[in-house]
Amino acid sequence: MKEAVVFQKTDILRLAAICLFAGSVTGTVWANGMGAELREQIGAYTQVCISGEYLGELGTEMLAEVFLRRALAAAAGWLIGMTLLARPAICVLAAGTGFSMAFLISCMTVQWGAGGLPVFVASLLPQWLLYVPVAAVLLSWAMAGQEKTHLPGFAVLLLLLFAGSVTELWFNPVVLQAIISICGI
């Protein structure tokens, strides 16, 4: 009789770390292999984000768009976390996170040289102080292997995501500009 393969939490976290690393390598290779024109477009987009030029009249529309994206991603994670696909999804999300972070670091390094890493870290602040706890709670719910809905808790997570969206749009450009001026980039 075959025994069922049961993955322990530590096994899933190790696999997720490997997926994060593999995604990081892939993102770095991808960014270095793309054309100079695309890297310049990404650099121009980054300049707009740093300046906060996109706000103005579009501020509330941008807030709605950013919050909707974050809320939909969290809702997908919340729903998937209640299924049998939760643990494999953790690995896929880890690979995607590694890819996107390495891709952005590579593009910012092309644009700002050694200053690209501080700019990347600054691009995460202060909103990631709100987004990381949301991701950690969703991860803990998915790892628990229960089919609880956690509806009141998810409502609190949505409030954190809204606060993160506000800080991403209105406070992050200030942080980015400060880091760029401190680093002399």
Q: What is the pLDDT of residue 1?
A: 45
Give the model's confidence band at 47: pLDDT under 50 very low, under 70 low, under 90 confident, else very high: low
Number of Cβ within a 10 Å radius of residue 109: 18
DSSP string, 55-71: -GGGHHHHHHHHHHHHH
- The pLDDT tens digits for 139-177 are 888 888 766 778 889 999 999 999 999 999 888 888 888
Does residue 141 contact residue 148 with C-beta atoms inside 8 Å? yes
DSSP string, 86-150: HHHHHHHHHHHHHHHHHHHHHHHHHHHGGGHHHHHHHHTTTTHHHHHHHHHHHHHHHHHT-----
Q: What is the pTM of this model?
A: 0.79
Q: What is the pLDDT of residue 170?
A: 87
Cα torsion angle, 130, 121, 39, 44, sign? positive
Each domain of the chain, given as residue ranges in start order, spans: 15-183
- The pLDDT tens digits for 114-126 are 888 888 888 898 9
Q: What is the pLDDT of residue 183?
A: 80
Examine the pLDDT at 131 and tell me if it is beyond 90: yes
Does residue 119 contact residue 180 with C-beta atoms inside 8 Å? yes
